[in-house]
């Protein structure tokens, strides 16, 4: 984006240095008042919106036709009498902290344009929201019931790919032991806490803890949790590489002694 397209505050009667300083501040965001910073962000978002909308719609079309897990979810929703077509997925601007959302009553899914790090990120988000619709169709979820909501959030975060190890690293959450489970629990608590029926974080944590074990094991409509299979394979591979490295060092040490 060309920073010159954004319009800094009026500067026609200011000395040259002040005009330069204001334009630099407008470009970098440093030294702006809160009102100027808000105006700058709004103008930049307006400039980016058409390209973000086009990319969001293109990725959505590609994924609805080519993503194995999305087409799998759409098939199972149709079997439950809840067919979801492209017209149910809407690309739109959202709050910076959101990537998507669902209205269970209408089946509409919001995709937050400009908030996806990659097409894979959008794929995981769509899968997450489709899992909520699946739970709504199959189990008649009462979203004002915190335990119901918590169970659906645990399942969606567990099965969608939200908690991929690489994505957790980018969020600065990473561990080689049970990181997937920790991520699922953390994200489920955050979602339940945002429920209007939730009085506080303690209530959200309590609801998630009460349902976590049973809902984490429930992989329907999938036969297994592919994410955990990948984690197990990676762990096995890492152990193998570690043992191989030890053997190589041992051989090198023996040769150096000789």
Q: 193-209 pLDDT, tens per residue?
A: 999 999 999 999 999 99
pLDDT band at 226, cuts 50/70/90?
low
Task: Assess whether pLDDT exceeds 90 at residue 244.
Answer: no
Task: Assess whether pLDDT exceeds 90 at residue 231.
Answer: no
pLDDT tens, residue by residue, 158-170 = 999 999 887 777 7
pLDDT at 48: 74
pLDDT at 1: 42
Domain ranges of the chain: 49-140, 141-219
Catalytic position from the list 78, 87, 123, 129 = 129
Of 72 and 165, the one with more pLDDT: 72
Q: Which of 13-27, 79-93, 138-152 has the lowest mean pLDDT?
A: 13-27
What is the dihedral angle through the alpha carbons of 164, 165, 166, 172, rounded to the nearest 10 degrees?
110
Residues pairing with 110 in the sheet: 90, 101
Q: Which of 59-68, 92-101, 211-220 has the lowest mean pLDDT?
A: 92-101
Q: Is 129 in the active site?
A: yes
Task: Assess whether pLDDT exceeds 80 at residue 80.
Answer: yes
């Amino acid at each position: 984006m060309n920073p010159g397209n954004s319009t800094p505050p009026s500067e026609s009667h200011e000395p040259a240095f002040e005009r330069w300083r204001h334009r630099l501040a407008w470009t970098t965001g440093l030294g702006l008042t809160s009102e100027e910073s808000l105006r700058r962000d709004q103008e930049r978002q307006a400039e980016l919106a058409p390209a973000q909308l086009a990319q969001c719609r293109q990725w959505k079309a590609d994924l609805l036709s080519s993503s194995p897990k999305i087409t799998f979810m759409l098939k199972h929703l149709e079997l439950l009498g809840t067919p979801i077509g492209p017209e149910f997925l809407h690309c739109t601007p959202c709050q910076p902290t959101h990537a998507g959302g669902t209205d269970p009553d209408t089946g509409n899914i919001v995709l937050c344009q400009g908030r996806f790090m990659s097409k894979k990120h959008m794929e995981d988000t769509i899968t997450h929201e489709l899992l909520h619709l699946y739970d709504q169709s199959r189990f008649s979820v009462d979203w004002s019931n915190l335990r119901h909501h918590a169970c659906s959030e645990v399942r969606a975060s567990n099965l969608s790919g939200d908690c991929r190890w690489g994505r957790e690293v980018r969020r600065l959450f990473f561990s080689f032991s049970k990181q997937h489970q920790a991520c699922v629990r953390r994200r489920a608590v955050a979602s339940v806490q945002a429920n209007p029926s939730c009085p506080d974080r303690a209530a959200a944590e309590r609801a998630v803890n009460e349902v976590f074990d049973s809902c984490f094991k429930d992989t329907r409509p999938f036969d297994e949790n592919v994410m955990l299979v990948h984690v197990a394979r990676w762990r096995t591979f890492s152990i193998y590489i570690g043992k191989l490295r030890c053997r190589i060092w041992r051989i090198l040490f023996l040769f150096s002694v000789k």
